[in-house]
Structures are given as C-alpha cells and as structure tokens.
Amino acid sequence: MAQVGFIGLGIMGKPMARNLVNAGYSLVVHDHKQGPMQELATEGAEMAQSCRQASEGCEVIITMLPDSADSEDAILGHHGVLEGAPAGSTIIDMSSINPLVSQKIAAEAAKHNVEMLDAPVSGGEPGAIAGTLAIMVGGNEEIFQKHEELLHVMGRSVVRVGEVGAGNVVKVANQMIVAANIEIIGEALTLSQKAGIDPKVVFDAIRGGLAGSNALEAKAPMMMERNFRPGFRIRLHQKDLNNAMATARDLGVPVPVTSLLQQVMGSLVNDGKGDLDHSAIVNFIEAMAHTEIRTQS
C-alpha cells in the first residue's frame, strides 16, 4: 500500500490516522503534541518532527487541522508539506477551511507538480472512530478516483462534489444545517422542560416522526444527560460558520439564520464554553429561559 503522511492528530485526526494504520497503510504522522504521535507509534506508525518530514517519500499527504491559517502554514510554510512532498504526490486536506484558501493552496501545490483534494468531513468523533464519516471531496476526477479507496477507510460516504474548493463549500452548507438543527432541538427541549414535560418523553414521542434526524439522535441525549464532552467543539463550529459567512458574502447570498447562529456561538465562546461539544448550544437558550434540561426518568 501507499506510504501516507498524516498531519494533525486531534480529536478527529488521531482516530482517522489509526484507521489507516489498522487498514495496513504505512503511515508517517506529525502533530505539534508528542503524545498522540507516540501513541500511534506504538501501533505501527512512524513519527515525524515536521510537516516536511511527514511528507518526504509519501504518495499521499493528509492534513486534518483546525482552520485555514493552520492548513496554509502546514502546507505552504517553512518546513511545510510542499518542501517535502515528491512530484506527483497528492495532498488531501481534510480540514474544514475557507474554500478560497483551498484553491490558493491547490494553486501553489500545482507549481510543485503536486495534486490537491479538499476533503472535509462530517460525523464528529464517533464517525472518525468508527470510520463512518461523510467526506465531501473537491478536486480532479481522476485524482479522486485514484485515492477513493483510501478515503473509504475513513468514511462511509465519499462523494466528489466538484473541483478544488467545492468540498469546503459543501462542508459549510453542512455545518449551517447542523447548527440550525442543534439549536432548534435545544429550543424545543427547553420549551418542553419549562412546560413541565420530561424532555425524554418528548424525545421518544417525536424521534420517529418528521422531526427525527441524526442530529436529534446524537445531540438530544447529550443535552438531557448534561454530557458536553467535546466530540466537536463549539469554537470549531463557530469557525465553520465564519467560513460560511465569508463564502456567502463573496457570493452575495443572504444567510440570516446562519448569521444569528454565528452570534450565538460567539456568545458561548465568550462565556468560556468554546471547548464544549456543540450540543452545548442549548446552554444559550437555557440561560435566557432560566431553566435547565434534565430528564426525569
């Protein structure tokens, strides 16, 4: 199998990298923290001390980083991926970043005869662990097909959605919908709590109807159990909505609900809740309603 460089071993990146190791890929990993690298080294990965070193000799270099600036620095910066990536290799940036930045990186990579796919993911930590992520890929059709099998190790749904940058356009669309779903679930359960109805009863009553969704199944139990351990942090979702707002501005598209949700998340970050799971969006509604969702059963 191809030798793969993997850069970024956070909540999502580490289990994604582990799935590649378990599938038999020869993996070289890099992260600014030694702990995750050492953990994967015990499972068969090789450690690299820079993005450049993680790229040398690799047919594929995957980056899974927090934001646009991180991807730019890791790929284009000093001791970055493009200093080590061999001609003919492919960078697969699985970070959720501004689509215009994806296109900028791809243009620089092309000058080094290096291909580029932007392939952001959805599914949170559970999907990363299980290898069932939804992966939205932008890039050349031939390059996508070449690496589709590798992507299927990490994701159940792997769809090419267009040229470079399109993956991150689809990702911001996804994040707009997810944020709106979680927020309205929080509103509905807070309303039910205030009315004296057990939120668990409400959840059981509506989950089989039109209100049922993956978001309801994943996030309502977390709200009721007060379990806000991060699978996907509020501050990262806020970043995605910032990218959605920037993309909407560039395209001249009004996004009033997204704008409101961006402000809600900004308030939660300012209240010190940015590192909680995005199910904690409910805290914003609870604070205004002077109540707290708790199941009675």
Answer yes or no: are the C-beta atoms of 140 and 115 closer than 8 Å.
Answer: yes
The token pair that represents 210 in the structure block: 């039109």
- pLDDT over 70 (residue 265): yes
Record the pTM.
0.90
In a domain, 297, yes or no: no
Q: Look at residue 86 and give its three-state secondary structure.
A: coil
pLDDT for 297 equals 67
> What digits encode the pLDDT tens for the residues 142-178?
999 999 999 999 999 999 999 999 999 999 999 999 9
Which domain-ending residue is among 137, 164, 191?
Answer: 164
pLDDT for 108 equals 98
Same domain, 233 and 143: no
Q: Which residue in the block uniquely carries the two structure tokens 């942090």?
A: 233
> How many angstroms separate the CA atoms of 77 and 212, rounded?
45
Same domain, 123 and 34: yes
> How many angstroms separate the CA atoms of 172 and 166, rounded?
10
109-139 core/surface letters (b: 16 or more CB in 10 A; e: else): beeeebbbbbbbbbbbbebbbebebbbbbbb
pLDDT for 223 equals 97
In a domain, 122, yes or no: yes
What single-letter DSSP state applies at residue 44? Answer: T
Number of structural domains the chain divides into: 2
Same domain, 140 and 249: no
Q: Look at residue 117 and give its three-state secondary structure.
A: strand
> How many angstroms separate the CA atoms of 37 and 252, rounded?
43
The token pair that represents 216 in the structure block: 């309801």
> What digits encode the pLDDT tens for the residues 3-26?
999 999 999 999 999 999 999 999
Same domain, 144 and 22: yes
Same domain, 137 and 48: yes
Average pLDDT, integer, range 130-138: 97
- Residue 110 belongs to domain with CATH number: 3.40.50.720
Catalytic position from the list 171, 200, 219, 273: 171
Catalytic residue list contains 171: yes
Neighbours of 75 (CB within 10 A): 28
Same domain, 177 and 236: yes
